[in-house]
Amino acid sequence: MKTEEYFAHDSAIIDEPCKIGKGTKIWHFSHIMANCSMGENCNIGQNVVISPDVHLGKNVKVQNNVSIYTGVNCEDDVFLGPSMVFTNVINPRSAVNRKSEYMRTTVRKGASIGANATIVCGNDIGEFAFIGAGAVVVKEIKPYALVVGNPSKQIGWISEFGHRLTFDEKGIALCPESNEKYELKNNLVSKIN
């Protein structure tokens, strides 16, 4: 379905009502469920499910085979790698209905989650954090954190351009691509303007 606002492949299913931003593309066999919203210029890959009441900001890239369940919200410029997984119930049982117990997870602006990573519900991902492929996130992730493994472990800090940061004795690091400066203070990183 092509509109002037967004593009959806003929095999995509879009339930009403939902809000889809201008320039967004929805590819093969994806299902956008009722009452969700996505900003401008998102890209929804093949075989993606976006459950009711999910919000995606602008320029969110969702790769193939990702399900974004109710309770998950992604801010602007988030990247969700192929086959990564969100959960929304902490103790699921087939015979026990826990729809009223969905936990919330927010993925902050600019964060990236690698292929096959799992985000256990209720653990927010900080802005510009980078979750490595296959990581299993079981606790909140700080902004600019570089996280890998199962269970996930922070192994460093990363710039907004996706480069590992090395801090000097004053706690200052420079991104090799953008030349932007970052400061490490009290085990938190912030960009210096």
The pLDDT tens digits of the residues spanning 171-188 come to 999 999 999 999 999 999
At 4, the pLDDT band (50, 70, 90 cuts) reads confident
Mean pLDDT score of the chain, rounded to an integer?
96
HEC-encoded secondary structure of the chain: CECCCCEECCCCEECCCCEECCCCEECCCCEECCCCEECCCCEECCCCEECCCCEECCCCEECCCCEECCCEEECCCCEECCCCEECCCCCCECCECCHHHCCCEEECCCCEECCCCEECCCCCECCCCEECCCCEECCCECCCEEEECCCCEEEEEECCCCCECCCCCCCEEECCCCCCEEEEECCEEEEEC
Average pLDDT over residues 18-23: 96
pTM of the predicted protein model = 0.95
